[in-house]
Amino acid sequence: MSLTRTLCMLLCAFALVAPGCKKKKSGDPVPRPGEESELLAEIPGIHLNRDDNAATGETLQISIKLTSKPLPPDGVTVTVTATAPNGDPIPQNAAVISKEGTVTFTLINLPQRQVADIVVTVTSNNKPGNTKTYRFGVMNKTN
């Protein structure tokens, strides 16, 4: 009787412990410590890769929403370059460094009645190779 009871207790213990030893599914990979997830961002209100964005003056405020999980620990640097239709560079504000989930910047010196080519580059401050580039055009519709 004692052997049967002991064997039954061992089987019950095994039945309780075995499910905890299952291999976890690899659905959403979680970055290991020291690794960084790929940068993901959205620019609400902007039509990317199109030239039909409009400004009502020579400036346009834009926000970039960083959707990467987790965000880089040292944040990101957002650099904006603008080019006139003739290829001349249009001076813009200095790069923005942020550890927040939303980065706001202002495009400046937009030429009147012309489409400026805008390139926004988001770079991780932890891993400079982790970069995303977004392109769009903006027209200053003032006379």
d(CA 7, CA 19): 19
Q: Which H/E stretch holds residue 6?
A: helix 2-17
Average pLDDT over residues 119-130: 94
Collapsing DSSP to helix, strand or coil, 99 comes out as coil
Query: Between residues 15 and 23, which one has the greater pLDDT?
Result: 15
Place 20 in a pLDDT band, splitting at 50, 70 and 90. Answer: low
| Cis status, amide bond into 33, omega within 30 of 0 | no
Residue with tokens 């609400």: 44
The pLDDT of residue 37 is: 83
Asked if residue 77 lies in contact with residue 64, where contact means CB atoms within 8 angstroms, the answer is no
Domain layout of the chain by residue ranges = 36-140
The pLDDT of residue 9 is: 72
pLDDT in tens, 98-109: 999 999 999 999
The per-residue pLDDT of the chain, averaged, comes to 86
CATH of domain 36-140: 2.60.40.2550
Instruction: Classify residue 112 by its DSSP letter.
Output: B
pLDDT in tens, 42-88: 999 999 999 989 999 999 999 999 998 888 999 999 999 999 999 99
d(CA 109, CA 92): 7
